[in-house]
Structure 1
């Protein structure tokens, strides 16, 4: 954890001196999606997302689709719908929707296990878990858990902003549960830096993902029917997960490219304390070829 903290501080502090100069978000470092045209891609390869939940399998990744359409204001991006309120060379402000990512650990065909990344209007990175166990072993000294109740998927909606600088792109997003599943709120702060060298493209992203108490309690809290002991002894709190992501593309032809993605998420202590987890992190990787139609 100490090494991760040092790396995060380095990623934040190193480029600060150049933030005063801004660049066009569709400059040479980014290949934007053409307005009024569907952007469709399919990646074929091999990858895996580790599952921090006890007695749940890791998530295999073989096929990853990308579907996006951007109009003058409205857009559809891998299942997410948004509306641009204001746009300039230096910033963009959108009304946006997004998937709940926590439900992906409980359901194999959750959308977050299919659409691993969004296009975010830049060059797209086109990219499941088994059902809930009947009984879970416990390694934290308390009673075992009975059959779990459902942890359902939900759709989040809110507002996001992008700030474009020479040091990369800053993204801030605040969303709330739209389907009244847990009535929780999430907030995300993300920094993305993209480098293009001939046929190569590299992107590094640093993300802080805050989840309200309602979100943590719904997905990682314990119901009395699951365990009276743990429902009384584990108290959910708001939490911040920290992630690092690296993506690389190599252009082969107009339509074909090689693709590599790696992501590491340090799960917050407030979530790790739940008896549902046996890992304090989750990692994702994918390597393969992508075809852009």
Structure 2
């Protein structure tokens, strides 16, 4: 028995793994045998743009992946899950995940494992460009944006037209008391040695999530803490991964992701971009 394995760039590019029975495994590179570990690494070069003001982009050069699927329990790139039911065209899991927003603030967030920030520190939010010189518009050093795990449920619907993922998770440790949801459609096909995966993603973040990461606290700026009021919003994205099979263990790899950040988030004075994009080109090896 096999299960579909998440893309090798799942940890860095935020491409959630899927799981289903072996009938849907298009190639041996997509599947992991139940009861076995799957370990791999991608080496190359890429970059993830950082929408935060005065903070540079994040280079991508080494991306690990590690996964294990049992009969019910599974581990995939830092996330734990439990399969409640698995049918030919439908599956339902309990899962954990972590927010991608914190990665913009902290080097060692799980979303930035093996990534290196070539930018000023997170405290580099000075006076806003072209803003008046009034002291009350200055943003002081930012307070902590703590890590938390999200827990909830995900459902996969499998069809000849692709895979639809529906997910809802909530803060498990009462850090921000927020919730996130995702609607993702993905489709993959193979042409000789080429394997192409395409996806469109809609990520919803509750008001509490937006406020915790992008809101301004009174000690950071009394002015902006009153001016910016957080609201829930939807990020919209597209992803593409192309792999060329060199050998049984080596692939050439190209991955890109483009995210249009919700207007409710880009209204924050911490941001000066309304998009975030990621690209990576290199070689992937599976042990």
Structures share fold, TM-score greater than 0.5:
yes
Q: CA RMSD in A?
A: 1.8
Paired with 1:286 and 1:135, the residues of 2 have a C-alpha distance of 28
Instruction: Normalising by structure 1, report the TM-score.
Output: 0.85
Counterpart secondary structure, 1:33: strand
Q: Distance in 2 between matches of 1:139 and 1:160?
A: 42
Deviation at 1:148, TM superposition (A): 0.6
- Residue 272 (str. 1) matches residue 266 (str. 2): yes
Conservation of the 8 A alpha-carbon contact between 1:51 and 1:58? yes
Give the counterpart of 1:174 among 146, 151, 168.
Answer: 168
29 and 63 in structure 1: CA distance in 2 versus 1, 3 angstrom threshold: closer
Within the candidate set 230, 243, 256, 1:236 is matched to 230
Q: 1:32 deviation in Å?
A: 1.6
Aligned to 2:129: 139
Partner of 2:3: none
Matched, 1:109 2:108: yes
Distance between the aligned counterparts of 2:146 and 2:51, measured in 1?
18
Structure 2 unpaired stretches of 5+: 1-21
Tell whether the 8 Å contact from 2:82 to 2:95 is kept in structure 1 after alignment: yes
Q: How high is the TM-score relative to the length of structure 2? A: 0.87
**How much has 1:25 moved relative to structure 2?**
2.8
Q: Secondary structure at 1:63's aligned position in 2? A: strand
The separation in 2 between residues aligned to 1:194 and 1:81, in whole angstroms, is: 24
Cα offset for 1:140? 7.0
CA distance in 2, matches of 1:259, 1:28: 15
| Map 1:215-234 → 2, pairs under 5 A | 215-234=209-228
In the TM superposition, 1:1-293 aligns within 5 A as 24-27=23-26, 31-114=30-113, 128-129=116-117, 131-139=121-129, 141=131, 143-293=137-287
Segments of structure 1 that go 5 or more residues without pairing to the other structure are 1-22, 117-127
Aligned length: 260
